[in-house]
């Protein structure tokens, strides 16, 4: 009976969650329509040079897409973005877990991490270019440097907030340190980690554009510089909109991951 009840009870919750998501999607579409409408109205007195209408941007978007120029630039930017962001996840989560799990180590490095996080990343770009050149290595390092600290700090805070009573109980039953990390600290820190990943993803998109503008001009940063310097305002909005879409897609993907990762908190077991 307990098993049957556990299988039947979640169904209304699943349906309610599905209806809520549909409602949120509908409201988002309405908000998007209002934003596009306000944009079009504002473009009338501003003029095509200062603020082109979305009706003028859409044909340019299609034209750049058909020519392959937008796809090539997007592919170049995504290569830099995901290379630097993946490296930031690997180093940020690993170091954050170590700092949170080994308190003397974390207390030693904490002041240096916050000092680096408060320093503008742009200040390091000349050094990065000097050390790594103007190619893709420098771009990846810039993206990594931009995104790593929010991931590291949120992971560190998440592990610090682990219930130390659970840790001591696990150790009293003979759990190894690796098991404590994997089964207690990481699940407890997951909401913090995903929050750090979302902040880091937004900064990684910014870092990608900054890297492409400060080093060899490639990708969407190249299109921004090209169309901005030649006053092709309608075309200029095409890479801007593309960056918005990329950032939104990454953020929503991480939000879905956060919901999936947090399910263990609401799971109940009946005997």
* pLDDT tens string 35-64: 878 877 877 777 667 788 888 888 888 988
Among 179, 157, 155, CA closest to 167: 179
Residue 123's pLDDT is 87
What is the spatial distance between Cα 17 and Cα 31, in angstroms, rounded to a whole number? Answer: 21
- Two tokens at 216? 């060899």
Same domain flag for 21 and 146: no
Residue 3's pLDDT is 43
Residue 141 included in any domain: yes
Residue 10 included in any domain: yes
Region at 266 (left for phi over 0; alpha for psi -120 to 50; beta for the rest): alpha
Lowest mean pLDDT among 21-25, 79-83, 217-221: 21-25
Q: Domain total for the chain?
A: 2
Residue 10 clears pLDDT 60, i.e. is over it: no
Please compute the mean of the pLDDT values over residues 256-268 and round it to a whole number.
61
User: pLDDT band for position 270 (50/70/90)?
Assistant: very low
Same domain flag for 15 and 102: no
Among 68, 59, 66, CA closest to 235: 59
Q: What is the domain extent for residue 258?
A: 55-266
Among 154, 185, 174, CA closest to 254: 154
Same domain flag for 17 and 148: no
Same domain flag for 132 and 159: yes
- Two tokens at 187? 């699940």
Residue 271's pLDDT is 33
Same domain flag for 2 and 97: no
CB 155 within 8 A of CB 100: yes
At 33, is the secondary structure helix, strand, or coil?
A: helix
Please compute the mean of the pLDDT values over residues 80-105 and round it to a whole number.
90
Region at 127 (left for phi over 0; alpha for psi -120 to 50; beta for the rest): alpha
Same domain flag for 99 and 231: yes
CB 212 within 8 A of CB 222: yes
Same domain flag for 198 and 220: yes
Same domain flag for 153 and 202: yes
Residue 269's pLDDT is 35
């Amino acid at each position: 009976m307990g098993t049957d009840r556990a299988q039947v009870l979640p169904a209304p919750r699943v349906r309610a969650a599905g209806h809520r998501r549909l409602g949120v999607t509908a409201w988002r579409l309405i908000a998007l329509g209002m934003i596009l409408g306000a944009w079009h109205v504002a473009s009338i007195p501003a003029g095509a040079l200062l603020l082109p209408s979305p009706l003028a941007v859409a044909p340019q978007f299609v034209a750049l897409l058909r020519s392959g120029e937008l796809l090539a630039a997007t592919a170049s930017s995504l290569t830099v973005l995901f290379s630097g962001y993946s490296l930031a996840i690997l180093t940020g989560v690993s170091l954050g877990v170590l700092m949170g799990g080994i308190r003397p180590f974390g207390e030693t490095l904490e002041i240096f991490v916050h000092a680096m996080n408060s320093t503008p990343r742009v200040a390091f770009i000349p050094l990065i270019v000097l050390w790594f050149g103007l190619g893709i290595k420098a771009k990846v390092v810039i993206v990594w440097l931009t995104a790593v600290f929010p991931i590291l700090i949120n992971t560190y805070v998440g592990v610090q907030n682990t219930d130390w009573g659970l840790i001591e109980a696990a150790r009293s039953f003979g759990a190894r340190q690796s098991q404590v990390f994997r089964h207690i600290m990481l699940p407890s820190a997951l909401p913090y980690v995903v929050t750090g990943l979302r902040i880091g993803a937004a900064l990684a998109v910014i870092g990608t554009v900054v890297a492409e503008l400060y080093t060899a001009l490639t990708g969407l940063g190249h299109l921004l510089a090209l169309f901005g310097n030649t006053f092709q305002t309608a075309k200029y909005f095409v890479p801007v909109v593309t960056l918005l879409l990329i950032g939104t897609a990454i953020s929503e993907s991480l939000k879905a991951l956060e919901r999936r990762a947090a399910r263990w908190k609401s799971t109940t077991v009946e005997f």
